[in-house]
Structures are given as structure tokens and as C-alpha cells.
Structure 1
Amino acid sequence: MSFNIAAMVCAGFVALLLLAEHRGDERLRWIAKPAASLAFVLAALAGGAGESAYGLWVLAALILCMAGDILLIPAGEKTFLGGMGAFAAGHAAYIGAFFWGWPQLTAIFIVGAAAMIVFAALSLRWLWPHLGAFRGPVAVYTAIIAMMVATSFLAAPPTRPTPSLLVIAGAIGFAVSDLAVAREKFVAPAFFNRAWGLPLYYGAQLMLAASV
């Protein structure tokens, strides 16, 4: 399977997932979501993820995120926390990829890091009144996301320039899509959250998979 075919398969299952979310079809959700996530893992493998240390880190991140996607399907606090944990580990694996080779700090990284501190602070300020017992886990998770996006400005994927716009766009897309998840879980549940958050999330993962 080529990268392009895997990406198209992913897009097709995302469309089915949106249909499942709109209809509230639990059975179709259990089919479409794992399949869409498996497709971005296969896309990375097709792109050569096993041929470099950077690619292996990204592959690990994608597999962990696939586990998080599956854990978020059931409704329940324990599975939600498990999903958060899997995604946090996925973000950490992306950080490992972006730091591979110990790149030198640059001005664009400093600007990106400062922007992500502001983004994280504003996100937590918005969510804080709604989080209850989740305040601690969400604060830690938000810090990990901010670090993941900041380090994306340092990433040096094989055969790509540093900084890589593909990686930066994927990292930012991933972070922004998490706002849809947070709004759905803590603020205002609505199909609207999934309608824009899911395509953005899967598109971001495909961009990161393409960077290998």
C-alpha cells in the first residue's frame, strides 16, 4: 500500500466516522475510528517510517495516538483518562522525534515556544472552570502539547528542510484539534466539535506521517 492510498483510505473512514457521530451510530463508530487511525499508521509505514530513527519515533507516536483514539470511543472517565495518557505518550514520542539529533536552538523555536506558552495559558484559562477533578491531568497534558508544538520548530526529518513546514503544520493542527475534544468533553458537547475537530486531527496526523 502506498502513502497516497493509505491517506485516501484514512479520509474515507473519517467520512464514515463523521456519519457515525452525526447519527450516534456506536457500531459504525467502532468500525470507522480504529480503521481511520490504523490508516495513518500504515501511511507512515508506506512512507518509510522504519528507515530512520526519526521515522521510528513518529511511528511510535502514531501507534500511541491510535490507542488513544480507541480508548476515547467508550463514554467513561476511566477510558477518557486512559486515552489522555496514550495521547500524552504520543506527544512525548513526537518530542523525541523532533529532538532527534539534538538540534540547535534557533530564533524561530524561541518564538514558537513563547507562542505556545500563551496558547496553553489561554486554553487552560478557558477550560479551568469546567474541568473539576480533571484540572491536574488536563494541565499536565496541555504542557506536553505545548512542548510538542514548540519542538516541532526544531524537527529535521530525513530529506526535508529545517524547520519543516509540514511538521509544524501537523503539530499545530494536532494541538488545535484537541480544543475540539476539550470543548466536547468539558464545555459544550455538540456534533459541531467533531465535525471540524476530527478532520483536522486526522489531517494533522497524516502530515506528520508524511514527514518520515
Structure 2
Amino acid sequence: MSTAESPGRPAPARADGRASAGRERLGRAALAGFALATAADLGSLLAGWDPGHLVFKPLLMPLLVAYALTRGAPRLLVAALLFGWGGDLALLFDAEPAFLVGMGSFAVGHVCYLVLFGKRPANPLLAGGYALALLGTVGLMWTDLPADLRIPVAGYSLLLTAMALRSSALGLRAGLGGALFLLSDTLIATGVAEWPQLPRPDFWIMATYLAAQYLLATGVLAAGQAYRREVVRD
């Protein structure tokens, strides 16, 4: 009797099980790599070691993408993370054109998130809070921003705030991710406006940004898994 004809679980099922186990191991490895790269990048920023930041920052989003792919990530989530990666790379260069390119790349990522979140209703009180935060922050910073950056920063802030608000409709995890993304980019904007900064401002910007992307990605994945379970039950 051949192996394929032997009693027990059919060969295709065994192959599917091996593939699933392989994806699980790859996912755990990618997530561990993301955690290690995050620790190394943040440690480099705390230590003021710029070469470390230049090495580890470009690794972060690809590792998170790899993890998301092993969990069946939708294309829009992968696109949002990759456009975030593009923004990360652009902001490694300390020049205004690079800043605008990075902001544009992040903006496309926010559009991907917005489409991904769909038209689920948002909490009206939360919407009001985000609107006040947007108007207050942009209004206070307006005269302190370079004149040629005022309109781009205002437009980007509107898009970012919309993404943060819409993320809350996907659950607490994704909503917290959206809020942290807004906080991270607000810290960047206050630096551009030359407001007083926290010690090691780059550390706080990256810490909130990485937490935001992780929470958004895992929030989307969790919502997708919950939806698939409901479909199977129905």
C-alpha cells in the first residue's frame, strides 16, 4: 500500500497542515524580528547612535509586513504598511524635499487605511474630540510653521485625523493605533514648528509610531479573523 493510500488523514490535509505550521513559524520569526529591530532602533535613538537608527529603521515595516502576510493580511493593509516604509526611508534624509516625499508616502498609506476601514459609523463624541484636536493643533502651529509647509501640513493633518477616527470603528486595538499615529505625527509637526521638545524627541516619535503601526496591523488582522469566523458559523 502506498503512502498516499495509507489509512488516516489524507495526504492533501497533511500537506495543508505542514504549510500552515510553516506559515505559523515564519510569522513568529517575523514578529520576533520586528520586536528585536524595534528594541535596537529605539535603543539607538536613546543612546544618540545615529548609525544604529540608519540600519534598523529600514527593517521595521518589512518585518511587520512579513508577519501580516503570514496571517492572511488584506492587500490594503500590506500597501498601507509599505507606504509607511516609504515614508520611513524618506525621513532618514534631513531635507525639506525628503520631508514632503515622506509626508506624501504616509498620506497614501492613510488613504489605504481609510478604504480598508470602510464606512463603519464612528462615535460622534470621538469625532468631535478629534475635530477639536485638529483645529486646535493646526491653528496654534500655523504661524510657527514654514510658510511653504502650512498648506501641506494642514491637508495631511486632516487626512491623518480622519484615519485615526475611522480606525476606532474597527475596535479598541486599531483605534488606539490610530490615536498613537496622530500623536506621533503631531510630535513631528511641533518639531517642524520649532516648539519646545521632549528630551530625545526622535525616540518618542518612533516609539509612538511603531506602536501605532503594530496596533493598526494587528487590529485589522483580528477584525478579519473575527469576520471569517462569523462567515463559517453562518
Q: Does TM-score exceed 0.5, indicating one fold?
A: yes
AA at the equivalent of 1:65 = G
Shift of 1:19: 3.5
CA shift for structure 1 position 198? 1.1
**2: distance between equivalents of 1:4 and 1:185?**
38
From 175, 181, 186, give the equivalent of 1:168.
175
1:112-159 deviations in Å (ceiling 9; x for gaps): 22221111112212322321221000000000011111212333xxxx
Counterpart AA for 2:129: A
Structure 1 Cα separation of the partners of residues 189 and 165 of structure 2: 20
| Map of 2:228 onto structure 1 | none
| 1:193 pairs with 2:208 | no
Counterpart in 2 of 1:137?
152
* 1:146 maps onto 2:154 in alignment: no
Describe the SS at the equivalent of 1:73: coil
Report the Cα offset of residue 4 of structure 1. Answer: 4.2
Cα distance in structure 2, aligned partners of 1:127 and 1:44? 36
Deviations 1:30-53 (CA, angstroms, capped at 9, x unpaired): 21101112222122112210xxxx
* Structure with bigger RCO (C-alpha 8 Å, 6+ apart): 1
> Does 1:203 find its partner at 2:211?
yes
Q: Which residue of 1 aligns with 2:131?
A: 117
Counterpart-to-counterpart distance in 2, 1:71 and 1:165: 30
Question: 1:83-122: CA deviations, max 9, x gaps?
Answer: 00001111111001001xx44x35x2x2222221111112
On the 8 A contact 1:113/1:146 being kept in 2, the answer is no
Write the distance in 2 (CA, Å) between the matches of 1:191 and 1:18.
14
**Amino acid in the other structure paired with 2:51:** R
Contact 1:183 1:193 in 2 (8 A): no
Amino acid at match of 1:35: L
Provide the C-alpha distance between the structure 2 equivalents of 1:5 and 1:173, rounded to a whole number of angstroms. 25
Task: Give yes or no for the alignment of 1:182 onto 2:189.
Answer: yes
Conservation of the 8 A alpha-carbon contact between 2:38 and 2:60? yes
Larger Rg: 2
- Distance, in Å, in 1 between the alignment partners of 2:27 and 2:143 is 42
State which of 33, 37, 40 in structure 1 corresponds to 2:64.
40
Secondary structure at 2:193 match in 1: helix
What is the aligned length? 194
Give the gaps of 5 or more residues in structure 1: 50-54, 156-163
Distance of 1:194 and 1:22 partners within structure 2: 8
**What's the offset of the Cα at 1:22?**
4.1
1:153 alignment partner, SS class: helix
SS in 2 for 1:194: helix
What is the RMSD computed on CA atoms of the aligned residues? 2.0
User: Does the 8 Å CA contact 1:174/1:200 hold for their aligned counterparts?
Assistant: yes
User: Please, what TM-score do these two structures have when normalized by structure 2?
Assistant: 0.75
Aligned amino acid, residue 182 of structure 1:
A
**1:157-204 Cα distance to aligned partner (Å, 9 max, x none):** xxxxxxx11111111111111122223333246653222221221111
Q: How does 1:50-129 map to 2 (within 5 A)?
A: 55-99=74-118, 102-103=119-120, 105=121, 108=123, 110-129=124-143
Partner of 2:51: 27
Counterpart of 1:44, as a letter, is A
Check 1:153–1:31 CA distance in 2 against 1; reply closer, same or farther (3 A cut): same
Moved more, 187-196 or 55-64: 187-196
